Amino acid sequence: MARVLTPRAEDFPRWYQDLIAKAQLADNGPVRGTMVIRPAGYSIWERMQAEMDARIKVAGAENAYFPLFIPESYLKREAEHVEGFSPELAVVTHAGGKQLAEPVVVRPTSETVIGEFMAKWVDSYRDLPLLLNQWANVVRWELRPRTFLRTSEFLWQEGHTAHADEADARAYARRILHEVYEDFMVGVLGIPVVVGRKTGRERFAGATNTMTLEGMMGDGKALQMGTSHELGQNFAKAFDISFSGRGGGKELAWTTSWGTSTRMLGGLIMAHGDDNGLRVPPKLAPIQAYLMVVKAGEGVAEAAASLRDGLRDAGVRVGLDDRVDTPFGRRAVDAELKGYPVRVELGPRDLAAGNAVIVRRVTSAKTVVPLANVVAEVTAALEADQKALHDEALAFRESRTVEVSSLADAIEAAQTGWARVPWSAVGPQGETEANGKAVTVRCLVRPDGSVPDSEDEPGLVAILARSY
């Protein structure tokens, strides 16, 4: 097969951009840092949305929609928040042909505007918890944009909840972290994320605690795949989200926020892609079985339609490619690029022999299968390859993760992968030193892998890495 992409080992960032272009996942938009998500990319995002949305609803949050435009003054009510976001804001100064009395910012995130409405809607402890989520676009001006990973506009879900006490807020932020995000990322994306607590320096602007899910990419770097924040009473104070408690007195609510975005598409590419293109985990794939008519022939179209129906009836998401006017080789290269988990190839010769050819994207295994067995073979392959992709990513992460005991060794190890080092050997000062060498503390975890309640807990492990 001719070389379609720059090999990963040769130039990983170039391979990434090549893949996005050749698999037609996205294009750069005309305004710096923006992107166009093309159908091949957007259909994967729709599957991410569907899987996430179902989990968010099971966790009890309801979808709503808050305005894109936020009065500049709202941002200023929470000091750390405005400081964190000011450099990235896009500002509308003119609208309807006139200069606006107060400029409005295009939302970089919605804690402030949602805080304002939570204050209106929450009256009594009976109104709590208030569990909201929205699917929306947000804008953060990027100086060094990179498709999916850092774009001036991106799509995401942002959850915002208010609770009667700290324990409830804390538990809910963790519930989302594990039952929604980790479950989706491990079980559907097939990416074995490490779930931990951010250090004070890496915390979200305005949060009291930021928890993160970090995935290892194919070059050994880390990608923050999602975050869940405890906001304490910071936004409740700034927006007066108060309620009459069970005792009758006025109390301040405790809030959380949590988000995942189109950045996950970048994670998917970099965690699972290979030199031939994307590899989409079967549970995520919009098209799980790509049925290709090799060339026209008597009965081939009918046999293909029958295979398609059989696969569909078995619950498989099928795409039919009967563009026999386009050379088969070119279509096969495109199918590799797009990463359909299983290809089913059917031509006149196969049909005459009563067979089809099954090609598995993950293992590259190619087998000739009697037509009657295609559905069973495909469903078995989808099941097996979901696991295979995850296990491959896990084995890779383990092979690139080193246990060390000093900061110097950790910074060294982070050149090619992740370092696990006692947090006591790093600390805020060591973090500064690492940052100077483009290495960050991705998160802190307990020795048993669970998420700490404080960075001061004894025995914590810090994960250091280069990152996107």
Residue 23 vs 381, nearer CB to a second copy: 23
Considering only residues 220 through 279, tell me which ones interact with a second copy, judged by CB under 8 A: none
Residues 6+ apart with CB under 8 A from 211: 173, 174, 177, 195, 196, 197, 198, 227, 228, 229, 443, 451
Q: Which of 71, 310, 319, 348 binds a second copy (CB under 8 A)?
A: 71
- Residue 403 neighbours by CB distance under 10 Å: 12
In angstroms, the CA 293 to CA 304 distance is 7
What length does the chain have?
A: 468
Decide: is 67 part of the binding site for a second copy (CB under 8 A): yes
Q: Which of 4, 21, 59, 136 binds a second copy (CB under 8 A)?
A: 136
Decide: is 365 part of the binding site for a second copy (CB under 8 A): no
Decide: is 92 part of the binding site for a second copy (CB under 8 A): yes
Q: Which of 94, 247, 436, 454 binds a second copy (CB under 8 A)?
A: 94
Give the shortest CB-149-to-a second copy separation in angstroms. 16
DSSP codes, 422-459: EGGGTHHHHHHHHHHTT-EEEEEE-TTSPPPS-TTSTT
The amino acid present at 6, given as its one-letter code, is T
Give the shortest CB-29-to-a second copy separation in angstroms. 4
Q: Which of 4, 22, 27, 402 binds a second copy (CB under 8 A)?
A: 27
Closest CA to 200 of 365, 426, 8: 426
Please work out the total of residues on this chain that contact a second copy, with binding judged by CB under 8 A.
Answer: 56
Closest CA to 191 of 277, 261, 286, 266: 266
Tokens of 47: 């599957």
| Four-residue CA torsion sign, 289, 8, 333, 149 | positive
Decide: is 167 part of the binding site for a second copy (CB under 8 A): no
Residue 105 vs 193, nearer CB to a second copy: 105
In angstroms, the CA 216 to CA 204 distance is 21
DSSP 8-class letter at 162: E
Distances (CA, A) of 320 to 294, 313, 345: 11, 15, 10
Asked whether 203 and 224 are in contact (CB, 8 A), the reply is: no
- Scanning 81-89, 163-171, 185-193, 218-226 for contacts with a second copy by CB under 8 A, the matching segment is 81-89
Decide: is 70 part of the binding site for a second copy (CB under 8 A): yes
Give the shortest CB-35-to-a second copy separation in angstroms. 7
- Scanning 43-51, 200-208, 303-311, 400-408 for contacts with a second copy by CB under 8 A, the matching segment is 43-51
Residue 139 vs 426, nearer CB to a second copy: 139
Considering only residues 275 through 334, tell me which ones interact with a second copy, judged by CB under 8 A: 325
Give the shortest CB-103-to-a second copy separation in angstroms. 8
- Scanning 103-111, 223-231, 237-245, 246-254 for contacts with a second copy by CB under 8 A, the matching segment is 103-111
Placement of tokens 């005991």 in the chain: 405
Strand 62-63 with 130-139, pairing: parallel
Contact residues toward a second copy (CB under 8 A) are 27, 29-31, 34-39, 42-43, 45-46, 62-71, 74, 86-97, 103-104, 106, 113, 116-117, 120, 126, 132, 136-137, 139, 141-143, 152-153, 155, 325
